[in-house]
Amino acid sequence: APGRRPLMAGNWKMNLNHLEAIALTQKLAFSLNERQLSEVETVVLPPFTDIRSVQTLVAGDKLLLGYGAQDLSPYDSGAHTGDISGAMLAKLGCSYVLVGHSERREQHGEDDAVVNAKLKAAIKHEIAPLLCVGEGLAVREDGEHVAHCTAQLVAALKGVKAEQAASLVLAYEPVWAIGTGKTATPEDAQEVIGALRAKLAELYSVELAEQTRILYGGSVKSKNIAGIMAQSDIDGALVGGASLDVEEFVLICRYR
Ligand code: PEP
């Protein structure tokens, strides 16, 4: 859409060994030329343990592949064994951090309050939150998907002021489409994403809503990306499985 630079983010989840992570990053940086990277912002979200390597690989490269993390602690420091803070991620040069991914919500019991606290922690450390919302199959079958996703958005943004929301990126990820090979139709994705944009306008302003990028995620592949990107409110994709395959991910980034 006009004025919004497309964003393709690869969520590696808990995959790849250290050498594979390095190889994937190098191949990706090699495959995308300067024009492609300037037109379509391309970001990888490795496991925490590979972020330092990715940072080293892209440092000083003017092509600048972006990178970020898959999660962060709501706290800045302290007795939180095993957790990673926004301050730590900021020191590693992370530009983005996923917040509220459905796998975190489901497997770690992250509720709206936790998602809200994590979102605020990301903003505090000047890392753009990539906030994920999405409904499960039962909610969609009940026709409550728009209400569910807009409610998740409102809850995640509770107490967040307009100036703090400027770096926000949203991702609509229907849970039934993640890792299942079932993609939402472009029209179904547009319906929810359009409603999320309208909700942002209501919460903040039309300007903020118009400048915020909203991605689709859920079994995105090179063969379905063009139809998704043709929708007026969809500004990119959050890609899981297909981001582990360099050729596929490059084709997704070159969708146009
Ligand atoms: C995701 O994890 O955010 C995702 C969309 O996964 P996949 O592309 O594998 O469905």
User: Does 200 fall in a domain?
Assistant: yes
Between CA 149 and CA 126 the distance in angstroms is 25
pLDDT score of 61: 66
User: Does 198 fall in a domain?
Assistant: yes
pLDDT score of 125: 98
User: Does 154 fall in a domain?
Assistant: yes
Residues annotated within a binding site for substrate = 11-13, 179, 219, 240-241
Q: Is the CB of 241 under 6 A from ligand 1?
A: yes
Domain around 54: 7-253
What are the catalytic residues? 101, 173
Q: Is the CB of 248 under 6 A from ligand 1?
A: no
User: Residue 169 in contact with residue 211, Cβ under 8 Å?
Assistant: no
Lowest-pLDDT range of 154-163, 176-185, 241-250: 176-185
CATH number at residue 196: 3.20.20.70
User: Does 1 fall in a domain?
Assistant: no
User: Does 13 fall in a domain?
Assistant: yes
Q: Is the CB of 152 under 6 A from ligand 1?
A: no
In terms of pLDDT, which residue wins out, 1 or 23? 23
Examine the pLDDT at 23 and tell me if it is beyond 60. yes
**Nearest CA-CA partner of 128 in 178, 179, 93, 76:** 93
ipTM surpassing 0.85: yes
Q: Looking at the 3D structure of the chain, how many domains does it have?
A: 1
User: Does 2 fall in a domain?
Assistant: no
User: Does 227 fall in a domain?
Assistant: yes
pLDDT score of 90: 97
C-alpha angle 55-59-61 in degrees, rounded to nearest 5: 135
